Amino acid sequence: MSDQFKISLPDGSVREMPLGSTPADVAAAIGPGLAKAALAARVDGELVDLSRPFTADAQLALVTSRDEADALDLARHDFAHVLAEAVQALFPGTQITFGPSTDDGFYYDFAPKDRQLTEDDLPAIEAEMRKIIAADKPLRREVWSREQLISRWQQQGESFKAEWAAELPGDEDLTVYWSGEDWLDMCRGPHLPSTGKLDPAAFKLTRVSGAYWRGDQANAMLSRIYGTGWLNKKQLAEHLTRLEEAGKRDHRKLGAEMDLFHLQQEAHGSVFWHPNGFKIWRELEAYMRRAIDAAGYREVKTPQVMDARQWEQSGHWGKYRENMFVIPDEVPNTEDDGPVISGEADWMALKPMNCPAHVLIFRQGIKSYRDLPLRLYENGCCHRNEPHGALHGLMRVRQFTQDDAHIFCREDQIVEEARAFCALADRIYQDFGFTYAVKLALRPDQRFGSEADWDKAEAELREAVVRAGMATDEYGWEELPGEGAFYAPKLEWHLTDAIGRTWQVGTLQSDRVLPERLDASYIGEDGARHRPVMLHRAIFGSYERFIGILIEHFAGKLPVWLAPVQAVVATIVSDADDYARDVVRQLEAAGIRVEADLRNEKINYKVREHSLKKVPHLLVLGKREAEEGTVALRSMDVEHQKVMPLAEAIAMLKAQATPPDVRATI
RNA sequence: GCCGCUUUAGCUCAGUCGGUAGAGCACAUCAUUCGUAAUGAUGGGGUCACAGGUUCGAAUCCUGUAAGCGGCACCA
């Protein structure tokens, strides 16, 4: 064996390095600039510390801040360690547990000694972190035996770390990283060479929250500190600006500003839709009805409340009851001092989903194989008693209306029905301007049914997406092991909004369990009874959530066809009032949602107010327009107004107010 | 459900050491008729989330409840 390693560099050159040398030595040999800029190394593709000695001939690429993804991840991971060190310095006795990097920063979970950490503690912790960074403490890797490390954690009272060390899989030795000579954490690494490589102005601690140890609510509640971390101050500032912009498009804030809806304590988790908000709803409902009518669905409406025995039979009473609203089937006692209910009545429940009711419709009469596929659609209003901490504006509510349909079909129709659904969903998401990813959630650990059934069900959905031409990177095609429902695999549609966030809305699940439980059957060509397969599917998911997503996606500036108020006619002087009333009448006749603003206010004031309410078009009328029969059209996000004859403005608004699916057929 | 924070006028918020509440916007009235993001004046409006407690006295301190916010867990 030679006493030199051959180290190949990305430019193709090869350097001979003596035994015991490290990537840092290579960087130094190339030049002092690189030695200073190097943050870590990729050796044969694996990200390692600069100080990790070579063990064989290797391909080496030095990582600098130009390799942004690697550099960010290293920096964030180091910020997490510095955070942990700072917290232990300020709050002795606090146990450290676990702290990874995240998409925009890092967090670390602590088991506090006396009290939970709060946001008031963050400035002091940030200051302490900056001290540790300024001290430029070297980060040094050491390999310890498992026993040695466990006993050190136990000695230091770090019970969480000791538990973790004992349970880490495999029987290799464990690695620790020293920060200087006085603090260490168990970590696989790699890390930057020293804390001084971090930019003290490129991070900010953002919030404190609770988090369960190892993500299990049976375990202790820890204090989690979140931070955002970057390579430099500019990146941090840009990120903070992005957060601010995201906050501005928060649907809860815009919902109030645009007078769309409100929520209040007395009906928490259920939405009060105001006239403006419900105009969006109605437009979506009309859109969806056109879509499902054209796609061969039939719309139904089913009861809000059903007997508990029905829910027992469907399996919901046993498995889902904690999320259901149950109702006693009796006339309540009206005596002032008596109990309201007897406690002896039978139970009913508000429907948490529509599927059983649709099966009950299917079961009416005898179905022939010729009746299939039978596609039953409902704007189904459901109630679920969600955990209170989960409620969030329109996105997670207790009463919601699904665009829900169930396709009852024969085994041989599954793939084609699923394919057709992929095409339908694609057209609809495009109409709203969303891009999306299609994913297949595969069998979970806890599940019903045989392996053969799962093999088949997964293959059918996969085949449907392939036939739709969507099992490609372009459609974000991905399979998610273990993510399916307990009774079936499911296809999921994840929308990407204007600022890059994703929302799961659409779904398609093939279900053989519920038809069995509720005894749905049809007569086949052979004269025998067969079980239909039930495809559960939704495109909006729920109207509430979809409207929330639309508001955030468009930052309130909805396309004209969805805007609650499509145009405001605003006068400059009262001499134009009669003309304005006539303009409003003509716009209304053309089907435009228009309002008049004849108030005795300056035009500046009116412009400002309607702009804040995100009205897409403002028709400004003064003496001149009244005399000439024109309008001065000021449109959102268009710099200059345009004066045009009224007829021209009406034609233009009418075109814009036409829903995209209707436009396509004109 | 769990951890932390919050709750004062319709909205956004201020309120010091415990001494019975204040601004801007909105609303009403009056004046103003004005050319593209806030015209001026005047006025009305509050059981300080709710329920207890401490105190001579509570928006303020303590306890409980509820809702909201940020996370966690949940989302068959």
The backbone torsions φ and ψ at residue A117, rounded to the nearest 5 degrees and listed phi first, read: -75, 150
A329-379 confidence digits (pLDDT tens): 999 888 777 788 888 889 999 999 999 999 999 999 999 999 999 999 999
Q: List the A215 CA – B73 C1' distance (angstroms).
A: 7
As a whole number of angstroms, the distance between CA A13 and CA A6 comes to: 10
Residue A573, CA: closest nucleotide via C1'?
A: B33
Residue nearest to nucleotide B3 (CA to C1'): A210
Which nucleotide does the CA of A224 lie closest to, via C1'? B71
Q: Mean pLDDT in chain A? A: 93
Predicted confidence at residue A249, as pLDDT, reads: 92
Q: What is the dihedral of CA A553, A558, A561, A562, to 10 degrees?
A: 80
Residue A2 has what pLDDT?
Answer: 62
Q: What pLDDT score does A304 carry?
A: 97
pLDDT surpassing 80 at residue A5: yes
Q: Known catalytic residues of A?
A: 355, 384, 402, 404, 406, 490, 536
For B37, nearest residue by CA–C1' is A608
More confident call, A601 vs A335:
A601
B34 nearest neighbour residue (CA to C1'): A602
In which band, very low, low, confident or very high, does the pLDDT at A252 lie, cut at 50, 70 and 90? very high
Residue A433 has pLDDT above 80, yes or no: yes
| Confidence check: pLDDT of A576 > 90 | yes
Which H or E run contains A130? helix A122-134
Which amino acid appears at position A131 of this protein?
Answer: K
Quote the ipTM score: 0.94
CA at A399, C1' at B22: how many angstroms apart? 39
Stretch A210-239: mean pLDDT:
94
Instruction: Name the residue with the least CA to C1' distance from nucleotide B1.
Output: A387
CA of A389: nucleotide with nearest C1': B1
Nucleic acid strand B: bases within 7 A of protein CB: 1-5, 11-12, 31-39, 66-76
Q: How far is the CA of A257 from the C1' of B22 (A)?
A: 25
Average the pLDDT over A577-587 and give the result: 96
pLDDT of residue A599: 93
Contact yes or no for A23/A43 (Cβ under 8 A): yes
**At residue A290, what is the residue type?**
R
Q: What is the pTM of this model?
A: 0.94
State residue A666's pLDDT score.
67
pLDDT of residue A370: 96
Q: When comparing pLDDT for A466 and A341, which is higher?
A: A466
The least confident of A165-174, A179-188, A273-282, A439-448 is: A165-174
Quick check: A485 pLDDT over 90? no
Q: How far is the CA of A251 from the C1' of B58 (A)?
A: 38
Q: Distance, angstroms, CA A337 to C1' B56?
A: 39
Write down the pLDDT at residue A490. Answer: 94
- pLDDT at A15 > cutoff 70: yes
Average the pLDDT over each of A253-257, A262-266, A320-324, A662-666 and give the range with the smallest value: A662-666
Q: How confident is the model at residue A224 (pLDDT cuts 50, 70, 90)?
A: very high
User: A618-642: per-residue pLDDT in tens?
Assistant: 999 999 999 999 999 999 988 889 9
Q: What Å value separates CA A119 and C1' B14? A: 22
C-alpha pair distances (Å), A91 with each of A8, A113, A116, A212, A435: 47, 8, 11, 20, 47
- Convert the pLDDT of each residue in A18-62 to its tens digit: 988 999 999 999 999 999 999 999 999 999 999 999 998 999 999
In the structure, how far is the CA atom of residue A114 from the C1' atom of nucleotide B53, in angstroms? 26
What is the Cβ-side half-sphere exposure of residue A323, based on CA atoms within 13 angstroms?
15
Per DSSP, the three-state class of A70 is helix
Q: Where are the alpha helices (DSSP H) in A49-100?
A: 68-90
Q: What is the predicted pLDDT for the residue at A319?
A: 85
The token pair at A364 is 């009416």
Closest protein residue to B66 (Cα–C1'): A265
In whole angstroms, B14 C1' to A250 CA is 25
CA distance A657 to A590: 10
For helices A275-294 and A543-553, what crossing angle results, to 10°? 110
pLDDT at A572: 96
Lookup: nucleotide whose C1' is closest to A316 CA: B76
Nearest nt (C1') to A599 (CA)? B33
Name the closest nucleotide to A630, judged by C1' and CA.
B35
In percent, how much of chain A has pLDDT > 90? 83
Segment A485-508 shows an average pLDDT of: 91
**Lowest-confidence region among A293-302, A442-451, A579-588:** A442-451
How do residues A390-413 score in pLDDT, each as one tens digit? 999 999 999 999 999 999 999 999
Question: Does the structure show a pLDDT above 70 at A1?
Answer: no
Per-residue confidence band for A419, with pLDDT thresholds at 50, 70 and 90: very high
Comparing every residue's Cα with the C1' atom of nucleotide B38, the nearest one is: A605
Across A433-446, b (16+ Cβ under 10 Å) vs e yields ebebbbbbbbbeee
CB-based contact A307:A348 (threshold 8 Å): yes
- Give percent of chain A above pLDDT 70: 100
CA of A336 to C1' of B50 (A): 22
How does strand A174-179 pair with strand A183-186?
A: antiparallel
Scanning every strand, the nucleotide with its C1' closest to A622's CA turns out to be: B35
